[in-house]
Homo-oligomer: A and B are copies of this chain.
Amino acid sequence: MALIRENSAGYLTNWAARLFTRELERQLAPTGIAPAYMPVLFALADGSTLTQKALARRAAVEQPTMAATLNRMQRDGMITRRPDPADRRCALVTLTPLALGQIDAVERVVSAINTLALEQLAPGEREQFLGLLRRVIGVLEAQDAA
């Protein structure tokens, strides 16, 4: 149990992620942006247009997950979908002015939370933490692909 809670990389990572998400939801509330909207928001922040498939790949979620996220974003007035004239299977997704107007606020929130989370670490430790996370992710991604 102490083994699990305190010494398990998986347990600690999962708990940290839940705490990050809670704080993110709290701070994003006034913007109308949900955590799952963020990858879409940043992918289309330059006013560009992508298909659902491309957005799913960038967000590293499965296609039905992205479809549901886009449905909620459309409901909330954050995106528009229009049919691709060149390929009638595709829907082209674009941010609305409402969503574009929240980008700065969202970036400030993300930055504030990351700063808060790392505030007890020395500057070198912050880079170290991110580096270790990237290496752990690398191993798990390789396993996931296999």
Contact = CB atoms under 8 A, between A and B. Distances in A.
Interface in A1-38: 1, 4, 6-10, 12-24, 38
Interface string A107-124: 000100110111111000
B15 A16 contact: no
A68 interface: no
A24 B12 contact: no
Interface residues of A, number: 52
Nearest to A10: B20
A17 B19 contact: no
A96 interface: no
A143 B20 CA distance: 10
A146 to B, nearest CB: 10
B135 A132 contact: no
Given A10-B110, A114-B9, A16 B120 contact: no
Nearest to A140: B19
A119 B139 contact: yes
Contacts of A119: 139
Interface of A: 1, 4, 6-10, 12-24, 38-39, 42-43, 45, 60, 110, 113-114, 116-121, 125-126, 128-130, 132-141, 143-144
Given A8-B110, A17-B18, 9 more contacts: A9-B133, A14-B17, A17-B17, A19-B144, A118-B136, A125-B132, A128-B132, A129-B132, A132-B132
